[in-house]
Structure 1
Amino acid sequence: MAEAHQAVAFQFTVTPEGIDLQLSHQALSEIYLSGVRSWKKRIIRIKNNVISGVYPASPSSWLFVVIAILATMYTRSDPSMGLIAKIQEHLPVSQMSTQCQAVVSAVLFSTMLWLMLIFTMRLCLKQLLSYHRWMFEQHGKMSTTTKIWVALVRIFSGRKPLLYSYQGSLPNLPVPAIKDTVKRYLESVRPLMNDAEYKRMTNLATEFESSLGNRLQWYLKLKSLWASNYVSDWWEEYVYLRGRGPIMVNSNYYGMDFLYVTPTPIQAARAGNCIHAFFLYRRKLNKEELKPVSTVIPLCAAQCERIFNTARIPGEETDTVQHWQDSDYIVVYHRGRYFRLRVYQAGRLLSPREIEFQIQRILDDTTPPSQGEAKLGALTAGDRISWAKARAKFFSSGVNKRSLDCIERAAFFVTLDDEEHSMMGEDSAECLDRYAKSLLHGKCYDRWFDKSFSVVYYKNGKSGINAEHSWADAPVVAHVWEYTLAVDSFQLGYNEEGHCKGEVDSSLPRPQKLSWEITPECEEQISQSLAVAQALADDVDFHVFSFRDFGKGKIKKCRVSPDGFIQMALQLAYYRNRGTFCLTYEASMTRLFREGRTETVRSCTNESSAFVQALEGGEVSMIPADVCRRLFRAASEKHQHLYRMAMTGGGIDRHLFCLYVVSKYLGVDSPFLNEVLSEPWRLSTSQTPVQQVELFDMVNHSEYISCGGGFGPVADDGYGVSYMFLGENIINLHISCKHSCPETDAHKFGGQIRKALHDLLKLLSPNLKESNKTDEGRPEVKKDK
């Protein structure tokens, strides 16, 4: 193939006159420019490491300290209290003049003083960032201690931090006391057990706390002293990488495009702008120009390192996450073919118009797939052991290995889908449901589920993202997705015809189709993996809707936390749906600590169950509304307390999980831990926050924001619920469950959530009128910008 020759720097043939060497100047030029680009990145990385390494000071502050010390020497004062003279006595260079030796000694002393100051500042900042009492103070009422703390944080935080500047100053995640974790655990399961069950669990917990628990805790504390985070590495390995079932649906999650706006109906143009925006984000990431994400204090940015050029590699016992430093191309899937598309030419990033041109070439390519190539991606959607064995047997050498390496090393994966998804149609709700299912699993073979993330571009210009979960959590992917959507629509834009702006270099080499040699035995394995994945995909029931009757604006007027309000609505809806309570999982982040990931908030509490029963239960329903309101506020405040505890290292589940891992390493069995770790999460919930509010105008253009994202159910007989507050008036919800369970129905549960939201608002503010806006039947807006 013509494009394959671009990768060959030279050719030679043996002739009667000798060896005829033919050099390709274009290939040599590309090699040279690639090397220059690589060295530029290394220099930037070294520079940023130095800047982050001395933060909150700056490298230039060293010069200030040196000049200050030298100036004092000329005034015949000795700020070193004799240390400069001591250093001068032990200098190994005797050929220097006395004055020169004094200057060198002063510089050495200044450098040591500067390093000591940096160490002290970082230690102070670390201690300041360990203070979390501000989170537990009443909203709007800041204590004097917290005011002093805020001032000190500003003093010690330095100026213009890079993305990773705070990493060395973030505190380590603390290990909670055994007795505190056991006490909070027993409190969390009380509403889920009758008296006999609770007494039995209490006995198990007490026995564990007084015997084996202390031994396991000792090992865990030892690890916390040695490791940056005592949870994260085990969480990644045992919760994600050692899972042997399919990661499609069970682990991967998705993010949606704008809900009511499609910036352009041209598939190649949308891909051109967005792919360019992704690489702009990667450039900022590599240069550490992204602002550190923060609440009041900065959050850990460690997960950002593996956004691009990363893949999950299957293994028979455990998978691994492989990250490469750089990649100048993406891999594109279209109609059963895989293409390698370079996005850099002569050392520069291709313009959006040029990427559109290359994408259109792929769309217009009529080359049929190779034998067995069309459904190859199903291997990443099936069981991990089968994929690991197939990878070792059929993709460990030759052309298959080269093509697989190409996919795994790509910056990210792109699918050009032949389907159309939007809010158009008579039944907009059903359109959204199909859209969600497509992003979560597609056809089970047209996504590469092992890549850190895959981007899908539909025939009508709609897009979406599917992300692998082991390397990072949803907020990290949401951050890059928000940036891409904003840059696509508000910065790059489109011309009047809907194409990307700019000119095209028509001499660009064509995207290179990857080659495969798939044997009949390998095809059989692909078919088996596809059958497993297809059965899993068909079983998923999805319901996505945009609740526009009211949002967090009216909820806040009731003086209630919007997140607490939603969680109480979910408890009420589940009780009405199933007639009982269940163990509820709400994801909370622990990124206030170094290498922190997530913690569980157990949203079903004694307070929430008391409120729901007061509102729903038989004779108790005669309880006055003011009593129900008091019970609701108690439940909401309890939930907020648990959320804050989880964020500040006082959660239950990660501690118990790590104790369980230690017990397995020691080869000891704990009936208490076995039961705790086997309890099913029948209601798994997560909020998707808008992190870069400054990129969007959610007041005047609320349609220009992602609809959020979702995930599959955690338990076979449970629900997965993701929700997102948009501006002050919209709540987007994503609900999943399984058709195979007769007791779950995503649409019915969605209806119960709607009713619960209205009932709670009516209870808390009976005189507050609700708007009658609804999203039903709202037409989609298509705009060319």
Structure 2
Amino acid sequence: MAEAHQAVAFQFTITPEGIDLQLSYQALNQIYLSGVRSWKKRVSRLRNRVIKGVYPASPSSWLFVVIAILATMYMRSDPSMGLITKIQQHLPLSLSAEGQTMLSVLVFSTLLWLSLILALRFCLKLLLSYHQWMFEQHGRVSNTTKVWVTLLRLLSSRKPLLYSYQTSLPILPVPAIKETLSRYLESVRPLLTDPGYKRMTELANQFESNLGNRLQRYLKLKALWATNYVSDWWEEYIYLRSRGPIMVNSNYYGMDFLYVTPTALQAARAGNTITALLLYRRKVNREELKPVRIRVPGTVIPLCAAQCERMFNTTRTPGVETDVLQHWQDSEFVAVYHKGRFFRLWVYTAGRLLSPREIEHQIQRILDDPSPPQPGEEKLGALTAGDRVPWSQMRKQYFSSGINKRSLDSIERAAFFVTLDDEEQGMRGEDPAGNLDRYAKSILHGKCYDRWFDKSFSIVIYKNGKSGLNAEHSWADAPTVAHLWEFTLATDAFQLGYSEDGHCKGEVDRSLPLPQRLVWDIPSEVQAQVCSSLAVAQALADDVDCHVFPFRDFGKGRIKKLKISPDAFIQISLQLAYYRDRGGFCLTYEASMTRLFREGRTETVRSCSNESCAFVKALEDGEEAEQCRHLFRLASERHQNLYRMAMTGAGIDRHLFCLYVVSKYLGVDSPFLKEVLSEPWRLSTSQTPVQQMELFDLKNYPDFISLGGGFGPVADDGYGVSYIIVGEDMINFHVSSKYSCSQTVSKASVTFMFGCDIVHLLILKIDPTHRSIWHTFLHLFPTSPLL
């Protein structure tokens, strides 16, 4: 009752003497301060709109233009060539002559200023459309690129806000259909027999000469009209229209530091983690974050920041045919789950963010709460882990009104979701490797009901202070979430910190109201569906085999000394490992970003190439080292070129995907497109970037190494491989597969005399006389660069 009383701003009763009005000044003060915070945010947004709206110029440049025009007018010169006089003729006659002149000068100066801004923005877009620098050899920069670097530095010299570059980013181009088909046929050549390749070539030629050009015209029309011709269809058809479980199949995870746990107190770790996330949200809202940029010699290239817009206060709501992403402008609370109970935790009071110590205090109250779950509440989250259609039906029928709707709104409108897990996780105990694998599985799916998989991301805080993150995939890709998680871990450990006894720093206002228990009325029909969804999710979770493998023998430092791309090195290693595992090659997916373009997301790099296959076969056939070195050089260069082409809009798969979508809209079938899009990706790989923000130096703090994150397997008989190149001397691998497939094993039990390597991740039954893959490569290139 005390909390309810505090929530009332005023009370009144009717008495014989009149109305007796009783005001709660504390509540009114809270309302006033919350209103002030809201207006501050509106003013900040308006200011940011102006600043980024005139970028690469500045708002103050308007005054410079006005003064310059006035100065020329004072010198009896008309820079407008008569336009100022014409403007003056259309002004009200009630103004004095001097007033008319001044107003006409201001109008002309403003129009001139806006024209200059549009011209500068157009020039910046042209400069950002230049990508030839990416294809030039290191140390051999053309004169064109040198001029481009100089001009780009001049136009982007001002400090940008988070979204300053958005309107200046180029539009993703539609590749020529002939070029896409040619690159596709080249990519599948090593995977097909001669008759199979001939058949696929005939299908491609028929498609190009008949249906292809018609579909291409529609796609070009969309590219002229839409901001990005791929992203909206990719989001809808690849993610939101999927009717199966998003847990494991779509969601991915991020892990804590490998060697360090900043505090063993669960509530304290939650306090700092929640605070760090909200500080990041504040930076996003105020656009104080620097845009993520690629460093090139002499300048930096901005990447699209559109994915940051739906990072917080976002949820995926289920539908019968398609899900919908819902985003709210703001949220002053987070949703918390602990031992089967859901809570709403307010993180602002009187217009200010609670201190880390206050959030810890509130979290501890939740941990100490002895109340049991309400009937049907404990496993309610399983609805988000199972199939989407039953969840949609339950949501519409039983959660669209009343207390269930209010409680569900508290979860869906929350800034993010927090799970206070009652287990301990991390690399610990007598079986650190096994515990690391269990840690990864726990973040990926947990108990299948103690995460809210629909939220844009959920934070997991374990009993021993370890943390993790589970992210929904439709709104953003892993690099965006990795940027958030990197900021969170670094801010938690190095900026917020802990006291000597492991508690958060700061003072506590003990009058804070208790966290609110969410109230549910779960009928038996919903409880039955919860059990069904949980059974589906549990079967999926039990089938996932995860293995996390920190590789410490060497890292990108030693690879770069060989003048080899670390990414190419790893991808070719994966090809060799898969060949040894399965005796052949497979269609390989490597994610590449297209954020050099506005609203860009990803493109596929088809890492299994003719060159990589030639190298693997030569190595396995015992060819001479000199020949293997030559073939490896060709394979590495080919992979780098494929990656560059994907980044610059000349990929294969997104173009073919969009052509397929157009064909479905037109109601026509294409045997070629149907076959292309049904090909399984048995090896799905991705590199997660780290140290994007450089908030601390790994050389000075080597124990604060991030484990990165991973994802579930894409194909039932394939592998999901995520790798994180950490510093100069370490590479972390996350490998997943399915127990139900006898041909895939994420973790091998063989120890090689040549040391640990990636074969451990993919091979169980292997001839132990084979050399370690890593050491095989280093044997080929022992001391000298790859020439």
TM-superposed CA distance for 1:767, in Å, is 5.2
Whole-Å separation in 2 of the counterparts to 1:44 and 1:752: 50
Q: Which residue does 2:148 correspond to in 1?
A: 149
Residues 750, 327 of structure 1: CA spacing in aligned structure 2 closer, same or farther, 3 A cutoff?
farther
Amino acid at match of 1:357: H
Q: Counterparts of 2:223 and 2:562 in 1: how far apart (Å)?
A: 42
Distance 1:554 1:158, change over 3 A: closer
Shift of 1:435: 0.2
Secondary structure of 2:530's counterpart equals helix
> Judging changes above 3 Å, is the alpha-carbon distance between structure 1 residues 540 and 753 closer, same or farther for their aligned structure 2 residues?
closer
- Counterpart for residue 72 of structure 2: 72
The 3 A distance-change label for structure 1 pair 140 and 361 is: same
Post-superposition shift, 1:699? 1.8
Pairing partner for 1:313 from 313, 317, 332? 317
For 1:180 and 1:763, the matched residues in 2 are separated by: 38
Pairing 1:766–2:782 present: yes
C-alpha distance in 2 between matches for 1:686 and 1:20: 68
Structure 2-normalised TM-score? Answer: 0.95
Query: How many angstroms apart in 2 are the aligned matches of 1:21 and 1:445?
Result: 48
The one of 523, 527, 538 equivalent to 1:523 is 527
Q: One-letter code of the match for 2:760?
A: G
Q: Cα offset for 1:701? A: 2.0
CA distance in 2, matches of 1:721, 1:50: 43
The offset of 1:42, in angstroms, is: 1.1
C-alpha contact 1:362 1:511 (8 A) present in aligned 2: yes
Equivalent-residue separation in structure 1 for 2:395 and 2:734 (angstroms): 34
SS of the residue corresponding to residue 261 of structure 1 reads coil
TM-score, structure 1 normalization: 0.95
* Partners of 1:719 and 1:11 in 2: CA distance: 64
**Contact 1:683 1:721 (C-alpha < 8 Å) held by counterparts:** yes
Confirm or deny: 8 A CA contact 1:3 1:511 kept in the other structure.
no
Q: Match of 1:781? A: none
Question: Is residue 555–residue 761 contact of structure 1 (8 Å, CA) maintained in 2?
Answer: no
Counterpart of 2:406 in 1: which secondary structure?
helix
Q: Distance in 2 between matches of 1:60 and 1:693?
A: 30
Q: Counterpart amino acid of 1:382?
A: G
Give the deviation of 1:622 after TM superposition: 3.4
Residue 563 (structure 2) aligns with = 559
- Work out which of the residue numbers 455, 458, 480 in structure 1 matches 2:459: 455
Letter of the 1:123 counterpart:
F
SS of the equivalent of 1:559 reads: coil
The yes-or-no answer on 1:376 pairing with 2:392 is: no
Q: Who is 1:57 aligned against? A: 57
Q: Distance in 2 between matches of 1:14 and 1:195?
A: 93
1:354-373, aligned counterparts within 5 Å? 354-373=358-377
1:752 is displaced (CA, Å) by 5.6
Residue 651 (1) aligns with residue 651 (2): yes
Structure 2 CA distance for aligned equivalents of residues 97 and 235 of structure 1? 60
- TM-aligned CA distance change 1:316 to 1:15, over 3 Å: farther
Cα displacement (A) at 1:761: 3.0
Residues 203-250 of structure 1 deviation map (CA, whole Å, 9 limit, x = unaligned): 110000111000000000000000010000000000000000000000
Q: Match for 1:29: what amino acid?
A: N
Structure-2 residue corresponding to 1:782: none
How much has 1:24 moved relative to structure 2? 3.5
Q: 2: distance between equivalents of 1:525 and 1:20? A: 52
Q: Which amino acid aligns with 1:765?
A: F
Matched, 1:741 2:741: yes
Name the residue aligned to 2:47. 47
1:144 CA displacement: 1.0
- The CA distance in 2 between the partners of 1:745 and 1:20, in whole Å, is 75
Matched, 1:273 2:272: yes
Q: Deviations over 1:676-707 (max 9, x none)?
A: 11001000000011143521222232221320
Determine the C-alpha separation between the residues in 2 that align with 1:12 and 1:599.
Answer: 63
Paired residues of 1:354 and 1:505 also in contact (CA < 8 A): yes
Check conservation: 2:746, 2:761, Cα contact below 8 A.
no
- The equivalent position to 2:441 in structure 1, one of 424, 437, 443, is 437
Structural RMSD (CA):
1.5
Q: Is the 1:558–1:764 contact (alpha carbons within 8 Å) kept by the matching residues of 2?
A: no
Task: Give 2:696's aligned amino acid.
Answer: F
Whole-angstrom distance in 2 between the partners of 1:386 and 1:145 = 58
Partner of 1:700: 700
2:349 aligned with 1:345 = yes
Give the drift of 1:422. Answer: 1.4
Give SS of 2:302's match: coil
Q: Determine if contact 1:341/1:511 at 8 Å carries over to the other structure.
A: yes
**Amino acid aligned to 1:716:** D
Aligned mates of 2:390, 2:24 — CA distance in 1:
43
Once residues 201 and 514 of structure 1 are traced to their aligned partners in structure 2, the CA distance between those partners, rounded to angstroms, is 57
SS of the residue corresponding to residue 485 of structure 1 reads helix
Structure 1 residues 386-423: Cα deviation after superposition (integer angstroms, max 9, x where no partner): 10001001101000000000100000000000100111
**Cα offsets for 1:334-371 (capped at 9, x unmatched):** 00001111111111111111111111110001011111
Asked whether the equivalents of residues 330 and 343 of structure 1 are also in contact (C-alpha less than 8 Å), the reply is yes
8 Å Cα contact 1:55-1:158 kept in structure 2: no
CA shift for structure 1 position 143:
1.1
Q: Which residue of 2 aligns with 1:136?
A: 135
Partner of 1:779: none
Q: Give the conservation status (yes or no) of the 8 Å contact 2:72–2:78.
A: yes
How far 1:762 sits from its partner (Å)? 2.4
Does the CA contact (< 8 Å) of 2:268 and 2:504 recur in 1? yes
Task: Answer yes or no: is 1:467 the counterpart of 2:471.
Answer: yes
**Is this contact kept in 1: 2:403–2:521, CA < 8 A?**
yes
Q: CA deviation at 1:766?
A: 3.1
- Name the amino acid aligned to 1:436: A
Unaligned runs of 5+ in 1: 769-785
Q: How is 1:624-639 mapped onto 2 (pairs within 5 angstroms)?
A: 624-639=624-639
| Pairwise CA distance, 1:51 | 0.6
**Separation in 1, partners of 2:651, 2:9:** 57
Structure 1 residues 750 and 359: CA distance shift in structure 2, 3 A? farther
Distance 1:395 1:511 in 2: 22
User: C-alpha displacement at 1:750, in angstroms?
Assistant: 4.9
The answer to whether the aligner puts 1:334 opposite 2:343 as a matched pair is no
Cα distance in 2 for residues equivalent to 1:728 and 1:252: 29
Q: Is the 8 A contact 1:337 1:373 kept in 2?
A: yes
Instruction: Report the Cα distance in structure 2 between the residues aligned to 1:650 and 1:751, rounded to whole angstroms.
Output: 35
Deviation at 1:100, TM superposition (A): 1.4
1:625 deviates by 0.6
For residues 13 and 676 of structure 1, the distance between their equivalents in structure 2, rounded to whole angstroms, comes to: 74
Contact 1:569 1:756 in 2 (8 A): no
Distance in 2 (alpha carbons) for counterparts of 1:2 and 1:211: 74
Q: Answer yes or no: is the 8 Å Cα contact 1:735–1:750 preserved in 2.
A: no
SS at match of 1:262: coil
Mapped to 1, the partners of 2:613 and 2:143 lie a distance apart of: 36
How many Å apart are 1:545 and its aligned residue? 1.1
SS at match of 1:695: coil
Shift of 1:36: 1.8
1:105 aligns to what? Answer: 104
The residue type paired with residue 782 of structure 2 is P
Structure 1 residues 251 and 14: CA distance shift in structure 2, 3 A: farther
Q: Go from structure 1 to structure 2 and tell me whether the alpha carbon gap of 1:611 and 1:624 turns closer, same or farther (over 3 Å shift).
A: same
CA distance in 2, matches of 1:448, 1:704: 28
Question: Residue 233 of structure 1 aligns to a residue in which SS?
Answer: helix
Contact 1:629–1:763 (CA under 8 A) maintained in structure 2: no
CA deviations on 1:605-641 (whole Å, 9 max, x unpaired) are: 011111111111xxxx231111011111101110000
Residue in structure 2 matched with residue 780 of structure 1 by the alignment: none
Moved more, 411-420 or 34-43: 34-43
The 8 Å contact of residues 629 and 781 in structure 2, kept in 1 or not, is answered as no
Give the 3-state SS of the residue equivalent to 2:546 in structure 1: strand
CA distance in 2, matches of 1:297, 1:459: 42
- Of all paired residues, the percent bearing the same amino acid is 74
Alignment of structure 1 residues 538-617 onto 2, 5 Å: 538-616=542-620
Aligned length: 764
Q: Matched residues in 1 for 2:747 and 2:15: separation?
A: 75
Separation in structure 1 between the aligned mates of residue 593 and residue 8 of structure 2, nearest angstrom: 48
State the one-letter code of the partner of 1:271: A
1:94 maps to a residue whose letter is L
Equivalent residues in 2 for 1:497-512 (5 A)? 497-512=501-516
1:778 aligns to what?
none
Taking the aligned partners of 1:112 and 1:705, their CA distance within structure 2 comes to 53
Which amino acid counterpart does residue 616 of structure 2 have in structure 1? V
Please say if residues 581 and 762 of structure 2, whose CA atoms lie closer than 8 Å, have aligned partners that are also in contact: no
Spell out the pairing of 1:174-189 with structure 2 (5 A cutoff): 174-189=173-188
Q: 8 Å contact 2:714–2:720 — kept in the other structure?
A: yes
